[in-house]
């Protein structure tokens, strides 16, 4: 079996309203579909990459730079393919001190990596989670909420959280970091009061606080049972800041979404900066690199999480004893790709989804809608 053709397609779906976190606003859902065609007639069907800013460049990298490099290679030689693309392109970008290109190339490699895993699964008639070594039969689902939306007060937050619980969710990642810690704490208090004690609440700062502000929030929140505090400190020295914060609080610290390799995860662990690794496989080179990071985390008793992309994360987290939550937006307006284009998306039952059993990544897409939005 050889790779005959590589094709990446950008899909851009505008949102009905803007969603604001601690340091950003979202007004559209972007995805990259990567199709790899093989000599055996197997075709990948995968999507990833909610990158609103660089998706055009990532698609160009796949179609014009990385894709041609792997024509004629055997997809079963995935490790060699990954290393080839990394050494030939990412290493050179890093050597030339071009961090934006480096990050973009890593995301392009991730898209190819997802597609090859899908092909390997289809060729062996196994799901990717089985190829990785399935450890779980089902996974708890977390929605993402608490966005800063004009006009939403504490009563609005309570209504939002009650809606999530009524829909069957049992966890939520709640956005803070845009306001002062005291004002943000009041928002989190309102969220906690609205749900039952068995509903898990993670709090995501999106790098919005200084270490002093993060500690202020931790002191206020220390008795209300926060599952973890994610990316609590400013990005420019976050590992140092989080290592300082972790010494002063018992609330678990989560991070990793901003890392682009298992080397960055190793640095966080060496500096004792995290309790939970929330590595995004799209940001960090795909399934192959995510599992390298997970191996390091397992050796240090670090829990594994994954930022969004349930089509990928359900396989990865299902292969980890310490895998945590699959993130799925409860609000259909936030992720129309998930709601409309992914036609066989997993069914949420009593707050859980089953680990996949379809071959490959098990994704089926609505190509009429893809043509509309691509």
Tell whether 87 and 139 lie within a shared domain: no
Q: What are the b/e assignments for 96-114, b being 16+ CB within 10 Å?
A: eeeeebbbbbbbbbbbbbb
Domain membership flag for residue 364: no
CA-to-CA separations, 279 to 45, 54, 196, 350, in angstroms, rounded: 23, 19, 28, 26
Domain membership flag for residue 363: no
Q: Which domain holds residue 247?
A: 130-354
Tell whether 141 and 96 lie within a shared domain: no
Q: Decide: residue 295, CB within 10 A, 0-12 exposed, 13-18 middle, 19+ buried.
A: exposed
Domain membership flag for residue 369: no
* Closest by Cα among 236, 306, 250 to 276: 306
Q: What is the DSSP string of 245-257?
A: HHTT--S-EEE-T
Q: Rounded CA gap, 64 and 58, in Å?
A: 10
Tell whether 95 and 139 lie within a shared domain: no
Tell whether 255 and 184 lie within a shared domain: yes
Per-residue pLDDT of the chain (374 residues; tens, 9 = 90+): 999 999 999 999 888 777 766 666 778 889 999 999 999 999 999 999 878 788 999 999 999 999 999 999 999 999 999 999 999 888 766 555 555 578 899 999 999 999 999 999 999 999 999 999 999 999 999 999 999 988 899 999 999 999 999 988 999 999 999 999 999 999 999 999 999 999 999 999 999 999 999 999 999 999 999 999 999 999 999 999 999 999 999 999 999 999 999 999 999 999 999 999 999 999 999 999 999 999 999 999 999 999 989 999 999 999 999 999 999 988 878 888 888 899 999 999 999 999 999 999 999 999 999 999 98
At 17, list the tokens.
């309203």
Count of residues making up the chain = 374
Tell whether 136 and 192 lie within a shared domain: yes
Per-residue confidence (pLDDT) for residue 28, from 0 to 100: 81
Q: Is the dihedral of CA 230, 286, 324, 145 positive or negative?
A: positive
* Closest by Cα among 285, 300, 290, 303 to 202: 303
Task: Give me the CATH number covering residue 232.
Answer: 3.20.20.120
Q: Is the dihedral of CA 247, 248, 250, 252 positive or negative?
A: negative
At 154, list the tokens.
């504490």
The partner residues of 354 in beta bridges, in order of sequence, read 138
Domain membership flag for residue 284: yes
Give helix 238-246 / helix 211-221 axis angle, nearest 10°. Answer: 30
Tell whether 100 and 138 lie within a shared domain: no
At 236, list the tokens.
């420019």
């Amino acid at each position: 079996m050889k790779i005959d053709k590589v094709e990446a397609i950008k899909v851009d779906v505008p949102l009905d309203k803007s969603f604001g976190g601690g340091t950003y606003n979202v007004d559209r859902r972007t995805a990259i579909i990567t199709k790899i065609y093989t000599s055996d007639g197997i075709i990948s069907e995968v999507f990833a990459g909610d990158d609103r800013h660089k998706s055009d460049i990532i698609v160009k990298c796949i179609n014009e730079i990385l894709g041609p490099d792997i024509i004629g290679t055997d997809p079963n030689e995935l490790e060699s393919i990954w290393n080839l693309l990394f050494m030939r392109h990412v290493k050179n970008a890093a050597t030339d001190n071009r961090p934006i290109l480096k990050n973009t190339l890593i995301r392009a490699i991730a898209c190819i990596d997802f597609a090859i895993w899908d092909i390997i699964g289809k060729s062996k008639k196994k799901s990717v989670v089985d190829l990785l070594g399935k450890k779980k039969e089902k996974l708890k689902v977390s929605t993402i909420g608490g966005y800063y939306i004009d006009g939403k007060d504490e009563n609005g937050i309570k209504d939002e959280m009650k809606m999530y619980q009524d829909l069957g969710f049992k966890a939520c990642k709640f956005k803070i970091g845009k306001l002062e810690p005291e004002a943000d704490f009041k928002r989190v208090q309102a969220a906690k009061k609205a749900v039952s004690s068995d509903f898990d609440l993670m709090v995501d700062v999106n790098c919005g606080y200084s270490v002093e502000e993060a500690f202020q929030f931790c002191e206020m929140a220390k008795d209300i049972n926060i599952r973890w505090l994610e990316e609590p400190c400013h990005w420019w020295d976050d590992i140092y800041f989080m290592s300082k914060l972790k010494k002063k609080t018992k609330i678990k610290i989560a991070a990793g979404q901003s890392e682009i390799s298992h080397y960055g995860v190793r640095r966080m662990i060496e500096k004792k900066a995290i309790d939970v690794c929330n590595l995004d496989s799209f940001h960090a080179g795909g399934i192959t690199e995510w599992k390298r990071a997970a191996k390091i985390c397992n050796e240090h008793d670090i829990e594994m999480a994954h930022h969004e992309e349930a089509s990928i994360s359900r396989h990865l987290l299902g292969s980890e004893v310490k895998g945590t939550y699959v993130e799925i937006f409860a609000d259909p307006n936030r992720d129309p790709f998930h709601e409309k284009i992914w036609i066989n998306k997993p069914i949420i039952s009593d707050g859980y989804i089953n680990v996949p059993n379809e071959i490959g990544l098990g994704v089926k897409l609505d190509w009429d809608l893809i043509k509309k939005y691509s």
